Amino acid sequence: MSSSPENHTKVQGKLSTFDIVQKTLAKRRADESRFRFYGIASIVVGLGFLLVLFANITGKGYSAFLQTQIELEINFDPAVLDPENTGNQEALSKADYNGLIKIALQKSFPEATSRVDKKGLYSLVSSGASYQLRNLVINDNSLVGKTVKVWLPTSDDIDMLLKGNVDRNVEQGERRVNDRQLVWIDRLVAENRIEKQFNSAFFTAGDSREPELAGIRGAVIGSLFTLVGTFFLSFPIGVATAVYLEEFAPINKWTDLIEVNINNLAAVPSIVFGLLGLAMFINFFGLPRSTPIVGCLVLTLMTLPTIIIASRASLKSVPPSIREAALGMGASPLQTVLHHVLPLAMPGMLTGAIIGMSRALGETAPLLMIGMVAFIVNIPSSFTEPATVLPVQIYLWADSPERAFVERTSAAIMVLLVFLILMNGLAVFLRKRYERRW
Amino acid sequence: MSPSILLIILLALSFLGFQLGKKRSLDVVKGKVRDLHSLPAFYGFYTSLWSIIPALIVMVLWLSIESSWLANSVIAELPEAMRQLPKSQLYLVLNDIKNVVNGTTLSTQADQVILDAAKRYQRLELLSHNLLSLVTIALSIGGIWFSSQRINKDHRARNAVEKVMNVMMVICSTIAIFTTIGIVFSVLFESIRFFKSVPITDFLFGLDWSPQTAMRSDQVGSSGAFGAVPLFTGTLLVTIIAMIVAVPIGLMSAIYLSEFASPRFRGAAKPALEILAGIPTVVYGFFAALTVAPFIRETGEYFGLTVSSESALAAGLVMGIMIIPFVSSLSDDVMNAVPQSLRDGAYALGATQAETIRQVIFPAALPGIVGSILLAVSRAIGETMILVMAAGLAANLTFNPFEAVTTVTVQIVTLLVGDQEFDSPKTLAAFALGLVLFIVTLILNVFALHIVRKYREQYE
């Protein structure tokens, strides 16, 4: 429009619509950009939290992949190991390896003579170090009688001290490491006899009350059993259900009821599935508590709706022309589905299954209900042995009072997140690589 | 032999059956496949199904009654004094026996009666397993023989196999219904038992929750109070805090993603936000308890507020963040489904984008958005691990977000984790809480799904 606003005002004698628009325009534009800003801000808040969470966990947990080790000169004295000189394995496996460590420590620090000092000295080394020595000797009997330099894990307090989590300036009484111990440690550090090495126990050991000996192997294996079982139960059942509902089922009240049920089950809190598992599988069917098999059954029921819904969506996306062509060639309905529709829908179904599995991998609450929280040192080797899973292990460690468990919990979380990222990455890859658009 | 080895043998037999059936069908027509009614593979499936299904059915039934039969026959041979023990103690004795059998207890530690019983248990178990192997393998071979006898050129193997497949699919699809029935029954029956000892009105309207029941009859002050109102208010408080965080952030993210963002930004930001929902809740719980709660306490102290170390605020905040994607994803979908013509109409009238969203798209999408929020609420009510780790156990009847509260889910976990006898009102109370939780979330879900679906149909 070429006419100026002033002209309008003069002609109309009052404010025209155009003027009103012009007048409020600045405000409206500001409002627009404010609105946009809120949107961006909330996305930033969400993603920022994600970053803070990851950074926080990584910052707390990365140090757990290293464990402080102390170098001791151990004399595998036959007089201590095998005083009766029997020479057999049994005597060696029952021998007093703690005694060897104590002797070695005494030798390094002869000034510790009082009982309190000795106690402080002995507590530098982990209580599990003697088992390491035993394994060394049992694997290699020729060690007996020799003097060897061995790296042994320190106790968790010393580990925390060297990782900078113990404040040296605090009063001695409130510190987990006393002044004498500090002196010894400083000397060991100066002699390069104490250093942080890769914490292999974290990946190879089961749970333990001692942080320096605790590992996630048992929990990872338990998770593996549970997940594998869940997958082999829920994927076939889920696919069969989806195929039936999508390809064969008549539309009637019964199939409607099934559909309503599936949709509702997808939103039932997971803890309710735990109650179901406890009342049904453990109390009614008498399946053993704390075992992966019950975990599998509960998680199967929990993930089924996810898999069914994803599988149905995937089946729906296969165009009807494929079915018609197959039927036209004389294939039976089942052959049509098995030979033509299912292979085309498989990537989508697998993606759904993997997402369901990653939910199952992170699930904790229902497994608490069925007793998979027991303190289990042994690494499970079958579906019917008591086991725990990675998220439950995280929960258990998070409850432990020792400072060293904080970093181990974070490290276990990192491992769990890595598994989840791998699984979701696989799902994305499958979708990108094999999904066809029609 | 053990059931797992037996299962492998049965699978091998059924594979053998497949090959035999296929071969037999070809033999019958002397290699001319076109004379057969079905493809040879269907004859193979036919025999292999006959070989494995009856055997599997017998195996499952056998194993499901085996343990109770074993327990009963072992108990029947225990000394008289032991058999007279109350049921819970008898159960412990049985557990001891099983531990000896499994080698978890060293045989030197147990007393002689238990050892004898364990031996008997082992013998009976071996007998039962051997018998089972014999029966199932016989059934399997018999199935192969029977079915391969029936193969001739007019035999409709495909129809038979397809019928079995169809029945299996129907069975699979009814599992969803049975799961719901299972949930309802398992919580309902235990709840009814609970309401026999604690009146339902006391449970729903009582203001005092302290579920410790007396271990001995002369103990003082632990009669147990099962008034669930503090739990309900605690759940409500945490849910409200979570929704105060999640709804604005989730909605604004959804609006930005669906209306303003470029496809590329949307393609990156939406999955990134959804990661929030994929992180295990136990991770959030750890974060809330160890990082957020101390942070809030220190900030509170700075402003002169007393914040308890386990506060409703910390748990609620973190849960709110977790729930953002539940609100944003579904709302985003719903707003995307609003027809473009509505937007075009608003732009044509001179509305800015923000005005279009606020005055046209948002009202049009409102039912769906409400549905998504309701789903998020139901998710928040059922959330467990964050609260177990960060919200505390003290049943305070309070609406102060700085105090520790406890929720329905937390109490279910604390009442049921660990070993306790299963008949005490304490454990049964957990099922009553589970019933309440199930009913509330079910109503929310049904309502929300109804709204979302109705709305979707409107624009399709």
The span from the CA of B157 to the CA of A334, in Å, is 13
CB contact (8 A) between residue B321 and residue A49: yes
- Compute the nearest-CA separation of A226 from chain B (Å): 16
Whether residue A147 is found in the same domain as residue A245:
no
The span from the CA of B201 to the CA of A168, in Å, is 58
Give the mean pLDDT of chain A: 87
Cβ distance B198 to B226 under 8 Å? yes
Whether residue A227 is found in the same domain as residue A369:
yes
Q: Which two tokens stand for residue A232?
A: 């082999």
Contacting B residues, span 153-212, partner chain A, CB-CB under 8 Å: 158, 162, 165-166, 168-170, 172-177, 179-180, 182-183, 186-187, 189-190
How many Cβ atoms from other residues are within 10 Å of residue A364's Cβ?
28
Contacting residues for A134 by C-beta, under 8 A, at least 6 apart: A92, A93, A95, A97
The span from the CA of A222 to the CA of A375, in Å, is 13
CA nearest neighbour of B68 among B115, B124, B113, B111: B124
Whether residue A310 is found in the same domain as residue A269:
yes
Q: What are phi and psi of B388, to 5 degrees?
A: -60, -40
| Segments making up each domain of chain B, as ranges | 3-155, 225-459
Can you name the residues that pair with A195 across neighbouring β-strands? A69
- Compute the nearest-CA separation of A114 from chain B (Å): 39
Q: Which of A20, A35, A44 to mutate to test the interface with B (most CBs of B within 10 A)?
A: A35
Looking at A60-69, B77-86, B434-443, which range is the least confident one? B77-86
Q: Is residue A210 part of a domain?
A: no
Give me the mean pLDDT over the A32-52 stretch.
94
Can you name the residues that pair with A125 across neighbouring β-strands? A154
How far CA B257 is from CA of A28, A39, A47, A434, B334, in Å, comes to 21, 8, 13, 27, 12
Q: Which two tokens stand for residue A432?
A: 């990108």
pTM above 0.90, yes or no: no
Looking at A29-38, A166-175, A406-415, which range is the least confident one? A166-175
Whether residue A279 is found in the same domain as residue A325:
yes
pLDDT confidence tier of residue A2, bands split at 50, 70 and 90? very low
Give A173-184 pLDDT, tens digit per residue: 778 888 888 888
Cα torsion B210, B211, B215, B218 to 10°: value is 40
Cβ distance B266 to B333 under 8 Å? no
Asked whether residue A3 carries a pLDDT value surpassing 50, the answer given is no
What domain range is A30 assigned to? 5-61
CB contact (8 A) between residue B412 and residue A49: no
Q: Which two tokens stand for residue B384?
A: 């467990």
CATH of span B225-459? 1.10.3720.10
Task: Tell me which of B70 and B418 has the higher pLDDT.
Answer: B70
What sign for the dihedral angle of Cα B430, B436, B439, B444? negative
Position A40, amino acid: I
Q: Report the number of secondary-structure helices (H) and strands (E) in chain A.
A: 20, 3
Whether residue A403 is found in the same domain as residue A318:
yes
pLDDT confidence tier of residue A113, bands split at 50, 70 and 90? confident
Whether residue A68 is found in the same domain as residue A186:
yes
Among the candidates A149, A174, A204, a domain finishes at: A204
- Cα nearest neighbour of A18 on chain B: B350
Whether residue A57 is found in the same domain as residue A74:
no
Query: Is the Cβ of B362 closer than 8 Å to some Cβ of chain A?
Result: no
Q: Is residue A232 part of a domain?
A: yes
Nearest residue, CB atoms, B431 vs list A34, A275, A301: A275
- Helix locations, B103-156, DSSP H: 112-150
Position A104, amino acid: A
A274-A277-A281 Cα angle (round to 5): 165
- Compute the nearest-CA separation of A368 from chain B (Å): 6
Asked whether residue B328 carries a pLDDT value surpassing 80, the answer given is yes
**Termini Cα distance of chain A:** 48
Whether residue A56 is found in the same domain as residue A87:
no
Cβ distance B18 to B108 under 8 Å? no
Nearest residue, CB atoms, B384 vs list A50, A261, A271: A271
Q: Is residue A212 part of a domain?
A: no
Cβ distance A34 to B248 under 8 Å? no
CB contact (8 A) between residue A361 and residue B175: no
Domain count across chain A: 3
- Compute the nearest-CA separation of B218 from chain A (Å): 31
